Structure 1
Amino acid sequence: MTSILLRYRRAHLVLAGVVVLAVLGMALSGRVIDLHLNPNHGPVSLPLADACGIVCAILAATALRPRFWEWERTAGGPRTAIPAATAALAGIACAPLVIALSTLTLELHPSAEQYDITSVGELLAVSTLNTTFIAALVFTLSPLAGPTIAGATGLLLWLGTAALNSLEPVTRHYTPTSGLRFPLPDTWPHYPLVATLLLTLIAVTVHAHTRGSTAFAQRRSQ
């Protein structure tokens, strides 16, 4: 049953999205959006490859919505919780996968040097945690409010946190995601890693409990 339900969640669209967005991420690898909102401190940067990972997570949340939700929720019984949880975990994993493909297959773009980005490994680690946290947030909210609202919330958090970090650099020590600036905060990677793992667990639990959607989200999609 698990394989049948997963087959009807349009996983092929997710795989296609991973390929397309990974290729786009390769083209954008090393390029960043510079946020310099506080003249007393240096800029905070948003790697454009991160946006590809986040967009892929939003695409996955949309494509992996249950197509037989009414049946899964009522007649399917406890067995349908497994494909719902599996779909959520796979969808969240799309974001760091895109980042890994984008970052590891190319050298850093020369423009990255002006932002003190000197190591592909450093960029990969920061981007992986940032995008995985946003992906987990999208999948936590998607069954409750629909993928559109969930995706918009994730993008706003990504941009808003970076803007906050630029305005007040001390916030980088406390936000689960952060704009890119080296050296990394003292709380990295422990705090972001714990926050990401916890939110991923919450997302998987929400999907298992709701079977991937709710009546409110279903009404919004109609």
Structure 2
Amino acid sequence: MKTLLKLTVLVLCLSFYGCKNEPSAATFDDYKYADSENVLNCNDIDTKLYNEALLSFENDILKAFNSRNNDLRVAYTTFFRTLQGNRVQFQDVASPHSMKVFEALKGQPDLWNDDNSINYRADIFNCLSSNFKNQSLATTFNALVQTNSMRLDLIAAPLQKVIKNANSDRYLAAYIALDMYYANLFNVDPTKVIEKPETDEAIQTTPSKPTINQTPANDPHAGHDHD
């Protein structure tokens, strides 16, 4: 009887220890983008992990949706359009680093509901929505949250109008990363996630300017197409 009691206590202790050591912002130390500026400023919230999550997400969608031109605006637009069509293959898009970040995000106490859905009433979402550059979107977001009506099909229309600006509206970008990317990684098998080739250039976080190709006036090849 004493042996059984000891085993029970041991199991409970191990279970408690495992729960206490679930990855979180406090224990996560594998910061790949530690040298990048933390673009999220939220009172009384340590946003270092959220900033890491944002940059890792953006690197993932660049590789998956616009690796050739490395234009983050296009990557956001394509990702969102593909998401609306329920065609994003998260198993293929996710990187090993994003899965590590996701494990740490899972340890954030108020970020998730009991069913692993996003808790839109978490302090981080209040901060993000309060800092959206588009006030109309912020109003719609908050109204949906207050009425417990937040769903992709309802936020999609107003979001569609500003999605291409997510690379310059970092609070909007962080919301998209958390709600539309990391919230969809629960069904991803981390053991099957592989590293994708690195993009050729750094992530663009401001709107890119069109490239103007100028041909010298005395160029004998001007006006002709060549393979």
TM-score under structure 1 length normalisation? 0.28
* Rg (Cα) greater in structure: 2
Larger helix proportion of the pair: 1
TM-score under structure 2 length normalisation? 0.28
